[in-house]
Structure 1
Amino acid sequence: MIGTSSNAIHFIIPVRHPDSVVDPASQALRIHQLVQSLKGQTSQNWRATFVVNPGQNLPELSSNFDLQYVDFPANTEARDAANYSEFSRAVDLDRGRRVFAALHRVATGSLVMPTDDDDLFHRDLVSFVESADWDGGWLIDKGYIWRSGSFFLGRMDSFHITCGSSMIFPLDSLLPEGSNEDLDEDFFLELGNHRTLLERLPEDSVIWKRIPFRAAIYRVGHGDSSLSRIRRDFPYRRAGQLNFTWLQSYKRRLKAKFIGHPSERIHSVLFTPRMKRAFLGAE
Structure 2
Amino acid sequence: MLYFIVPLKSRAASHDWERVSRLCRRTLASLYQQTSPQFRIFLVCTDVPTGLASHARLEIVQENFPPPAPNKQAQIADKAAKVRRGLIAVRERGGGFVMGVDADDLVHHDLAALTAAQPQTNGWMIRSGYSYSEGSRWLECHNDFHLRCGSSHIIRLAPEELPDDLAGPAENCFVLRHGHHGIAAYLAGIGRPLGVVPFPGAIYVKMTGENNTGPDLSGIGLRATVSKVLRTRPVTPAIRKAFNLKPL
- The answer to whether 1:34 aligns with 2:27 is yes
4+ residue runs of structure 1 moved beyond 6 angstroms? none
Contact 2:44/2:62, CA 8 A, preserved across alignment: yes
Counterpart residue number, 1:216: 202
Counterpart residue number, 2:153: 167
Counterpart residue number, 1:146: 132
Counterpart residue number, 1:271: 235
Identity of aligned residues (%): 26
Deviation at 1:174, TM superposition (A): 5.0
Distance (whole Å) between structure 1 residues aligned to residue 114 and residue 99 of structure 2: 15
Contact 1:10/1:110, CA 8 A, preserved across alignment: yes
Contact 2:239/2:245, CA 8 A, preserved across alignment: no
Q: Which amino acid aligns with 1:269?
A: R
The alignment's TM-score, normalised by the length of structure 2, stands at 0.80
Distance (whole Å) between structure 1 residues aligned to residue 100 and residue 46 of structure 2: 17
2:62 to 64, 69, 77: 69
Q: Secondary structure at the match of 2:114?
A: helix
Query: CA separation of 1:43/1:19 partners in 2, compared to 1, >3 Å: closer, same or farther?
Result: same
Farther off after superposition, 106-115 or 55-64: 55-64
What are the ranges of 5 or more consecutive residues in structure 2 without an aligned counterpart?
Answer: 210-225
Counterpart residue number, 1:123: 109
Q: Secondary structure at the match of 1:168?
A: strand
What are the ranges of 5 or more consecutive residues in structure 1 without an aligned counterpart?
Answer: 1-6, 82-86, 224-262
Q: Which amino acid aligns with 1:101?
A: R
Distance (whole Å) between structure 2 residues aligned to residue 133 and residue 198 of structure 1: 18
Q: CA RMSD in A?
A: 2.8
The alignment's TM-score, normalised by the length of structure 1, stands at 0.71
Q: Secondary structure at the match of 2:12?
A: helix
Farther off after superposition, 199-208 or 25-34: 199-208
Counterpart residue number, 1:104: 88
1:25 to 8, 11, 18: 18
Distance (whole Å) between structure 2 residues aligned to residue 115 and residue 181 of structure 1: 19
Deviation at 1:60, TM superposition (A): 1.0
- The answer to whether 1:52 aligns with 2:45 is yes
Deviation string, structure 1 residues 26-52 (Cα, Å, up to 9, x no partner): 212211211211121111210001001
Contact 2:10/2:47, CA 8 A, preserved across alignment: no
Counterpart residue number, 1:191: 176
Query: CA separation of 1:90/1:196 partners in 2, compared to 1, >3 Å: closer, same or farther?
Result: farther
Deviation at 1:181, TM superposition (A): 7.6
Distance (whole Å) between structure 2 residues aligned to residue 31 and residue 196 of structure 1: 26
Query: CA separation of 1:121/1:10 partners in 2, compared to 1, >3 Å: closer, same or farther?
Result: same
Query: CA separation of 1:162/1:189 partners in 2, compared to 1, >3 Å: closer, same or farther?
Result: same
Farther off after superposition, 26-35 or 128-137: 128-137
Distance (whole Å) between structure 2 residues aligned to residue 34 and residue 156 of structure 1: 20
Distance (whole Å) between structure 1 residues aligned to residue 183 and residue 60 of structure 2: 25
